[in-house]
Structures are given as C-alpha cells and as structure tokens.
Structure 1
Amino acid sequence: MNPNLLKQLAIIVKQGSLSRASEQLFVTQPTLSRSVQQLEAKVGAPLLKRTRYGVAPTEIGARLAQIGERILADSEHGEEVIRQWHSGYHSEFAIGIDPLWEFAAFREMTANFLSESRYVFHFRTGSAAAQIRLMQEEKLDFLLAPAHLSVAQGTLDRELLFRDRSGIFAGRRSKLAGAGKPIPRDVLEQQSWMIAGASAGFLDGQGELAGPSAARIAFTGSIRSVLHLLDTSDMLVRLPARLALMTGEIAPEQLIETEGQQGPRRDIALWSRSENGERPEILRVRELVSDFVTRLDREAPTFGLEL
C-alpha cells in the first residue's frame, strides 16, 4: 500500500474537508479525490462519509487515518534526525518531566542541557502516571517524576535525586495564609479545596485533610492554573512544598503549618528502563541528568522544610 495515500487520508480526516486538505498538501481537490478512490478500491468500502460540516471517516477510514498519522509523525521525525546529523549532533534523548518541576527549574534546566553540544533533548511534560506508560512503551528514555508512585512500574529503575516534602498551601485571600501557628484538622475541613495532580499516580492521598466534602476543581498535568488560583482565591491545595516555593509564584507564608506530622515525602527521582543500563550514550546522559538534579538539590533553598 502506498504510504503517501495513507498520509493524505490522515490530513483529510484532520481537516474534515477535501478542499482544506488540498490547500495544505498543495494539490488539486480532484487529485486528492483520486487518491481516496485508490484506497477505497483496495479496501472495497468507503473511507469517508459526507456530513453537514464536511467529511468524516468511516470505521475503516478512521483506522487507516490513524496509521497515516503515525507515518506522518515518523516522516517528520526522520527529517529532523537528518537535520540533527547534518548539524553534528550524535543522538536524541526524550526526557519526561513533572509539570511543577518544569515550572520551578526551567531556567537552570535549559541552561544546563543547552550547554551539552553533543546531544539533542526532547522534553515532554505530563502527569507521572501517563509518562510511566510512555517509558514502558519505549517512547521516553528518562523521566524526572515523584519517587513514590502507585502506578505499575515494571522493570523501571529509580534513582532518588531531589528531596522534597508535601505541604498545604493557602490562597492569598485565605485567612489561613500567614497564620503563624498550626491549623487544626477541623478548620482545614471547613475550607474550599482544589486538587493538583489528580490521577497522576501519587501515593500520598490529597484529601485526608479536606474532610468529607469533595474538592470543587482538580487539575492533572497543569500547574499554571493551580498557581493562578493560589494567587487569586482562598482555596487550599496540597503540593510538593519545596518545588512550589522554588517557582517564586507562591509566598512562603502561604505554606501553612498543620497539627500533627509534616506532609509525606515527595522526592523527585530519575526513572529509566533497566534494559538500557549498559548503553554508553544512555549512561552518559543519565550522568548528565543526575549531576544536574543533584547539584540543584544541593544548591536550592529548603525553605525550613525537614528534608
């Protein structure tokens, strides 16, 4: 089967219109129609159906369009690999990072990896649970994420590098911000809560201090919205305390003290696949990442947290 026909089908499905797809592909609409007809002749069934808004794929059309999307992505990646080779780069590495880690350490992180001239780095931000799956599917080489996760970890290796602890933060408009004394549990239960890291795979429960009332809003893979609400509302949220304060977006007095023990640990670990442990280039990049995160752990403030 001609892969170009599948690529064209994928673009038609994405655009929902033969005319818009022909504009993107720089071909005439009759040419594109003939490409679809060739595929339909091979399949023996229609691939597209007309709707009031344009065209939509049939069941078999959608399946073939998904293959076409993968071909498109691989083609674009192939072109980028060629550009990398001509530019003198040896290898490309995909590294997953926690959204809060990216926000708290992006200046130091980008400066560190841009100084390494031999490799190309692709950073992917998302929830830990989703990124663990990507590692197991061999779509990531490394992952910087919480060290303790409730998701299946298979044969992944873990190296603890950055110390942190979970803490409760109050929005700037909350009467609890800057209270200067431990807050009783019954007072915490009366507050308005939100959840950060919903469905992210963390072991520490986020609702045990919130009481029986459900949180009104939850975020997965997003930190900007959480920081905005902490700046403009009276809502409470549990976050990795050290990383949250390192963003500079949250005032130290918004970290409230609660009665009882401090929050559970939320250390950051470097995750990798066990089978890649002996590859020289993997070992070199693991060392680069490990040295950077360890140095950041040593040099970043601890904000009075017991770490």
Structure 2
Amino acid sequence: MDPRHLVQLATILEKGSITQASKHLHLTQPTLTHNMQTLEMQAGGTLFERSRHGVRSTPLGEMFAREGRAISRRLQEVAEVTARHRHGIHRQLRIGTGPLVGAALLGDVVRETLLRCPELALSVQSDRPHLLVEQLIDGRHDLVIAPSWLERPPPGIERLPLIDDVLGVFCGATHPLAAQGALKNADDLRWISLGSTSPFDQEVREMLRSVGVPRARVDLAVMGEAFMLLDILSQGQHLAVLSRFALRQLAPRFALVEMATPGAAKPRPIYVWCRSEALEDRATAQVTAVVQEVAARQLARIHPALGQAVHHRAAPAKGSDGAGLNGENV
C-alpha cells in the first residue's frame, strides 16, 4: 500500500471533492481516481461515496484518512526539522499549554529557556487541555502544561504536579457586581465559557451551585483562546469561572475583578505532562525545571503564601491527586 495514496484520500475528504483535491495535490483527476481505485482494491471496501454535494467518507475511508493525516503531519514535521537545521537549530522542544496558563506563564518560560539553552528551539501550541493530552499521546508535543480530569495518567504518560491552583469567579471592573465584589442575585446574569464540551463541565456547575448560582445563563463560549476571552470579559457583561493563578497574573492588564465566593476554594491543580521516556531526556528536564521555577516565582509574587504550592518533584504523581474542575480556558 502506497502511503501517498492515504495522504491523497485524506485530502479528498478534506476538500470535499476529487476536483479540488487534484488541484491541491497538483495531480490530474484521472491519476487521483486511479490511485483511489487501487487503494479501495487493497482495502477491500469503498472508501468514500460520491454525490452532487461532493464526497462523503465511509467508516473504512475515515480510518484510512486518519492514517493519511498522520502521515501528512509527520512529513510536515520533517520539513520543519530540515528548515531549522539549515538555520543551525538542531533540537526543538514542543510545548502544549492551556490558553490562560500559557498567557500567564509561557512568556517567562520561553525567555529563560532560550537564555539557558541557546541551542534549543521551542514551539508552543495553545489548545483546550483535554485535547492537548490527546495530542501528547499522539506524539505531537514533548511537554504539556494543563490541569487533569483523570484519576491517573494514560499508559506511557507521566504528569508532574506543578501548581495547586484553585478556581475563581471573575468579571470586568464595570460589571454590575464588581463594586460589591460578591455573587448576589446572580441567577439572571450572563456567563462566558463554562466549557460546555469539557470533561470539567459538571464540576464547574457543581461549584456554581455551591456558591448560590443554581442556573448560569451561558450565552458565549470562547475555547482555546485567552486574549479574546479576557477582552470580552473586561467589557463588563459576563462572569466566568477561571484559573485563579492565571487571572491574578493577567487581571491587571484587563481590569478584571475576582468575586468573593463562600466556602473553601475549589481545587484545580495544574500539571506538567510528558511521555514516560522523556523523563530521561536532558532538554525536557531542563525545560521542566524552568517551568517549575517560573511558576514558583510568579506564585510568590502574586500571593507569597501560595509560593509553596509549586511542586519541584523529579518523580511523577501517582494515583488520585484531586482532578481539576475547569480546563477549557486554563
């Protein structure tokens, strides 16, 4: 089976037609059609169905296309390695991070890493935490900084406790509740980004019920993007449940206010995730140490009593350790 045919199948399904795929791939339509006939013969089944609206994948075709997309990603990674090598960069470390924690933490992490390790190049991707962990499993990241909703890491994945973070409720300084600084008569108020497709969603709703908000009117979700969320929140029309660690770093830039919430703060610890074999890698260990140091320094600055809440461990966390509550914008 020719791997190029799998890539071509993935492109056909992405573009929605053989015509568009042939233009994108710089192949003639007869050549592409012949390649798909060959692939279907090798697969022993139909890979997609044609209609006047384009092509639609069959279950078998989707499985083959998934492999084609993986091959395309690998080819792109090889091209990036080649480009970096031409510019004298021989090692790259890929970091995935939740958008808010990334906005609060990664600026200092990147600066200090490149000062200490000038031979190292970094790539940083922001995404929703549960997707980042899936991408780590797929080999698309070397380190991930994100909370956890799992009792224990997946096989072959380690997570190192980083910050004993907690959730807070935040709004813009011009919000009607900002002056009183507490959640009162909040049933009819508007909320942003409670992570309606998140594995953290139920715990967030339980938290709101515990502070007197049985029903939250969620009319806007901003997932995987920090600046847009904070800019909208600063306009004073919404409230949001977000990481206290990140927001205490970022709130002054956006004139945000934290609401007082009765009872104990809800834990949502943040971890550094990596593949098990990466624990022995020198570059991964160096960057992990920088992440820990930066987090400790930032915690000590925003709240000295929380400075001890950053973990400096060489061994991964084991068993249940307090899964997080909200992660779509962490």
- Range class of TM-score, shorter chain: 0.7 to 0.9
Q: Tell me what 1:251 maps to.
A: 255
Q: Tell me what 1:157 maps to.
A: 159
TM normalised by structure 1 equals 0.79
Q: Tell me what 1:94 maps to.
A: 94
Q: Tell me what 2:168 maps to.
A: 167
Checking the alignment, whether the CA contact within 8 Å between 1:165 and 1:265 is kept in structure 2 is yes
Shift of 1:64: 2.0
Shift of 1:172: 4.1
Shift of 1:190: 5.6
Q: CA RMSD in A?
A: 3.3
Checking the alignment, whether the CA contact within 8 Å between 2:144 and 2:273 is kept in structure 1 is yes
1:75, 1:172 → 2: CA distance? 48
1:287, 1:51 → 2: CA distance? 55
User: 1:174-253 maps to which residues of 2 (within 5 A)?
Assistant: 174-179=175-180, 183=182, 187-189=185-187, 191-197=189-195, 199=198, 201=200, 205-207=206-208, 208-217=210-219, 218-247=221-250, 248-251=252-255
1:64, 1:94 → 2: CA distance? 27
| Secondary structure class of the residue paired with 1:291 | helix
1:173, 1:27 → 2: CA distance? 57
Q: Structure 1 counterpart of 2:272, which letter?
A: L
1:187, 1:249 → 2: CA distance? 28
Higher RCO (CA-CA < 8 Å; seq separation 6+): 2
The alpha-carbon distance between structure 1 residues 32 and 102, as it changes in their structure 2 partners (threshold 3 A), is: same
Q: Tell me what 2:144 maps to.
A: 143
Shift of 1:43: 3.6
Q: Write out per-residue CA displacement over residues 35-62 of structure 1, whole angstroms, 9 at most, x where no aligned residue.
A: 2232234345443322112223333333
| Secondary structure class of the residue paired with 2:254 | coil
Q: Tell me what 1:263 maps to.
A: 265
Shift of 1:289: 2.9
TM normalised by structure 2 equals 0.74
Q: Tell me what 1:118 maps to.
A: 119
User: Which blocks of at least 5 consecutive residues in structure 2 are unaligned?
Assistant: 308-330
The alpha-carbon distance between structure 1 residues 2 and 216, as it changes in their structure 2 partners (threshold 3 A), is: same
| Larger Rg over CA atoms | 1
User: Which blocks of at least 5 consecutive residues in structure 1 are unaligned?
Assistant: none
Identity %: 25
